[in-house]
Amino acid sequence: MNRAFTLAGLIGAAIMLPALASAGLAGTNDGAAAVLQQSFTAKGQAGMDRLDQDDVQRLCSRAPDGPALSEKEYAEIMASEEASIRYPADGQYLGDWRAGEKIAQNGKGFQSSDDPTQSSGGNCYACHQLAKGEVAYGTIGPSLYLYGKLRGNDAETQRYTYAKIYNSNAFLPCSSMPRFGHKGILDEQQIKDVVALLLDPQSPVNAE
């Protein structure tokens, strides 16, 4: 199964570049892809199949250096990615925020040195501020501090938040946010736990 690399902040090992290309963050033209193919070899779970892009990744990789995506193409991306979202069969979107906090802080997964039998993390702090007390966080994505306090915790917000984590491209085509559920990076329960981290009133995310 082709999976996109999600662990921004741990990038540094050369073997990680193929995964970035698979995520649509590198290799935005044929020349770059050719260099990657020639320069790297598979190591453990970090296989060269990560260079194989799906239709959405190919479109989004084209945009920076080629023709801009049309409104029709953006609409097609959103429609296809929305169709990929698999909502929980039990209709429950909230898990355990304490487990969600561990997932948000966990940067392991999909690197050649990681144990593929262990669950991956979301490494959310690499791109977002979440809790007031966190002193080290990335700014690639918007701050999520007080996410639930500002948005509420109703069923519609829970469903939206679950879907956004599952596949961000359903809401913002060519988003740099990993498609956690679509690519099998996080499983259903893990996504529920991260939703709880964002929405539960007791979560540090919502503590002023």
> Residue ranges per domain, the chain?
14-76, 97-206
| pLDDT tens by residue, 143-168 | 999 999 999 999 999 999 999 999 99
The mean-pLDDT minimum among 33-37, 49-53, 55-59, 72-76 falls in 33-37
How would residue 12 be classed by pLDDT, with cut points 50, 70 and 90?
Answer: very low
Q: What percent of the chain has pLDDT over 90?
A: 59
CATH no. for 97-206: 1.10.760.10
8 pLDDT higher than 50: no
SS (H, E, C) the chain: CCCCCCCCCCECEHHHHHHHHHCCCCCCCHHHHHHHHHHCCCECCECHHHHCCCHHHHHHHHCCCCCCCCHHHHHHHHHHHHHCCCCCCCCCCCCCHHHHHHHHHCCCCCCCCCCCCCCCCCCHHHCCCCCCCCCCCCCCCCCCCCHHHHHCCCHHHHHHHHHHHHCHHHCCCCCCCCCCCCCCCCCHHHHHHHHHHHHCCCCHHHCC
How would residue 16 be classed by pLDDT, with cut points 50, 70 and 90?
Answer: very low
20 pLDDT higher than 50: no
pLDDT of residue 7: 39
